Amino acid sequence: MQGKILWADDEIELLKPHIMFLEAKGYKVDAVNNGSDAVEKSNLTNYDIIFLDENMPGISGLEALTRIKEVKPYVPVVMITKSEEEYIMEEAIGSKIADYLIKPVNPNQILLSLKKNLNQERLVSVKTNSVYQQEFRNLGLQLSGRLDAEEWTEMYLKLIYWELELDKIEDKGMLQVFEMQKKEANQQFTKFIKQNYLEWLNGTEEAPMMIHKLIKDRVSPKLDRKTVLLVIDNLRFDQWKMLEPIFSKYFQIEKEECIFSILPTATHYARNALFSGLMPSEMAKLHPQLWKNEEEEGGKNLHEKEFLEIQLKRLGKQIKWSYHKITNLEAGKKLSEQFHQWKENDLTAIVYNFVDMLSHARTEMEVIRELAENEAAYRSITVSWFEHSPLLEIIKKISEAGLQLMIATDHGTVRVTNPVKIVGEKSTNSNLRYKVGRNLSYQAKDVFQIAQPSDAFLPKSNLSSEFVFAGENDYFVYPNNYHQFVNYYNNTFQHGGISLEEILIPFITLQPK
């Protein structure tokens, strides 16, 4: 049986041909000719879907709809009416109907509504799997070629699209195939970065849009109108795509870009580069009072405001601006309450740290691990946070005030699953995705070694220090207490190394509706 239907219409006898058509298609149809009987039968029987005529003697279709929903809130109800009056449509839609049909209806209209409401998930699942199977071959062929930076951004956006589409359907079999393809893509992308990164920085090959040039090349030219630059730390592109529908309620998306972070893909380096407009070694040389090397004590992102001020002066921007860093709920509420104080700025820079804290909390707190056990759950908890955060209220106020909004981040994060042994001196940094120090020893083939940090515009603490970066889903672990560290860090979200998720990050320009 395709499904069990209750159909209520005061002219039900005239609909016998429709009912016979549906029964021939495998549906079971119970027919009544008034709203009271429809309510009674729906209370006594579990129907897959209910068709209600709006204009019936006794209680109306709208009243019957309300009573049915009180008892069976999740049963889809299709309203059928001769009337095209707007208030009836609004009442029905407000009561969460599944569909709205205008008489006279033909059997195929009814069948389409049934398939949409009863079979949509299965049909979408079959279609999505079928289309991805075709796209799988196309993506595989592209990955076997030599992609440039622009083609890699296009590839990553396609992978995100399919990951989100496959995640929506119940059949998860094809999602496993996708994970294999994404792993292959990250393998190839790691090789691509190893081959091209130093050439981009040293001008021997044209570089893509990179984070240290973002304010100069993207933000500064558009400061002819009041602008808010919102930096959501550690925001991946797939997380942005999940947040996009919420932002779209209040803003038109003018431009969506995928830009490149720098190595290491860590806050210390990437966010300072964003605000200063300089690479790390340039910051260390030109502003040693604001820069701290890995081995130095103290916070390493305490001078973003000063770096931004220096860059704005360098760009010749004599504007009214302010900088705000939000690291907890109360600070977010306070920034929202103070909106009237900064809404007249030419530029307001806001750093919002929640997503970064979420990734760290997931590593350290068992309850967060369970809430965000995989990629889909990690995205979901990000959306849930945003919907209930002061940031959403701030976003609404920005839109209402007619301000331009730009959304950026400093780097993304990747779920690590493959431990790689490394040995270094005690002074070696603790990050799992990159190491900087002397006498580093490792066996992994796919690490990206930068023996001369200056080649990558990275500061050099001593003559023999080097940087090594993990690629794909690898993470560095010391041989001492190896199993303890693997048990603790495996399947956690980390950043600092080379992956599509860490390096290819969103930059979005939005205009208020």
Q: Are residues 273 and 324 in the same domain?
A: yes
What are residue 477's DSSP bridge partners? 421
| Same domain as 178, residue 60 | no
pLDDT at residue number 360: 61
Confidence (pLDDT) at 481: 84
Q: Give Cα separations from 101 to 54, 146, 236, 306 (angstroms).
A: 10, 52, 42, 61
Per-residue pLDDT, 294: 84
Nearest alpha carbon to residue 308 among 264, 345, 339: 345
Q: Which of 83, 101, 118 is the last residue in one of the domains?
A: 118
Q: Is residue 493 part of a domain?
A: no
462 in a domain, yes or no? Answer: no
Say if residue 285 is in the same domain as residue 350. Answer: yes
* Same domain? 230 vs 99: no
Question: Cα dist. 84→55, 80, 87, 92, 103 in Å?
Answer: 12, 10, 9, 12, 10
Question: Is residue 482 within 8 Å of 211, Cβ to Cβ?
Answer: no
Could you tell me if residue 327 is inside a domain? yes
Q: Round to whole Å and give the CA distance between 284 and 454.
A: 12
Q: How far is residue 361's CA from residue 213's CA, in Å, rounded to a whole number?
A: 31
- Does residue 308 lie within any of the structural domains? yes
H or E segment and range at residue 354: helix 354-364
**pTM reported for the whole predicted model:** 0.84
Domain's final residue, options 182, 201, 220: 201
Total domains in the chain come to: 3
Same domain, 259 and 312: yes
User: Do residues 26 and 142 both lie within one domain?
Assistant: no
Is residue 435 in some structural domain?
A: no
45 inside domain: yes
pLDDT at res. 373 = 74
Query: Which residues are paired to 449 by β-bridges?
Result: 468
Residue 446 lies in a domain: no
In sequence order, which residues have a C-beta less than 8 Å from that of residue 483 and are 6 or more positions away?
none
- Going by C-beta distance under 8 Å and a sequence separation of 6 or more, which residues neighbour residue 465? 436, 437, 438, 453
Contacts of 331 (CB under 8 A, 6+ apart): 325
**Pairing relation of β-strands 441-442 and 418-423?**
antiparallel
Domain that holds residue 224: 211-414+502-512
Residues 177 and 78 in one domain: no
Q: How far is CA 14 from the centre of its chain?
A: 51
- Domain-terminating residue out of 63, 87, 118: 118
Q: Same structural domain for residues 335 and 249? A: yes
**Kind of pairing between the strands at 434-437 and 466-469:** antiparallel
Same domain, 223 and 196: no
Per-residue pLDDT of the chain (513 residues; tens, 9 = 90+): 688 999 999 989 989 999 999 999 999 999 999 999 999 999 999 999 999 998 888 888 889 988 998 888 889 899 888 876 777 777 767 767 888 888 889 989 999 888 888 877 777 777 888 888 888 889 999 998 899 999 999 999 999 999 999 888 877 778 888 999 999 999 999 999 999 999 999 988 899 999 999 999 999 999 999 999 999 999 999 999 999 999 999 999 999 999 999 999 999 999 999 999 999 999 999 999 999 988 888 888 999 999 999 999 999 999 999 999 999 889 999 999 999 999 999 999 999 987 666 666 566 666 666 766 788 888 998 898 899 899 999 999 999 999 999 999 999 999 999 999 998 888 788 899 999 988 888 876 778 999 999 999 999 877 678 999 999 999 999 888 889 889 888 988 999 999 999 999 999 999 999
Residue 248: CB atoms within 10 Å: 12
On whether both 36 and 152 belong to a single domain, the answer is: no
Residues 301 and 226 in one domain: yes
Does residue 488 form part of some domain?
no
| Strand blocks (E) in 40-181 | 49-53, 77-81, 99-102
CB 290 within 8 A of CB 303: yes
Same domain, 260 and 378: yes
Residue 317 sits in a domain whose CATH number is 3.40.720.10
- Torsion 276-279-280-283 (CA) sign: negative
Cα–Cα distance, 133 to 143 (Å, whole number)? 15
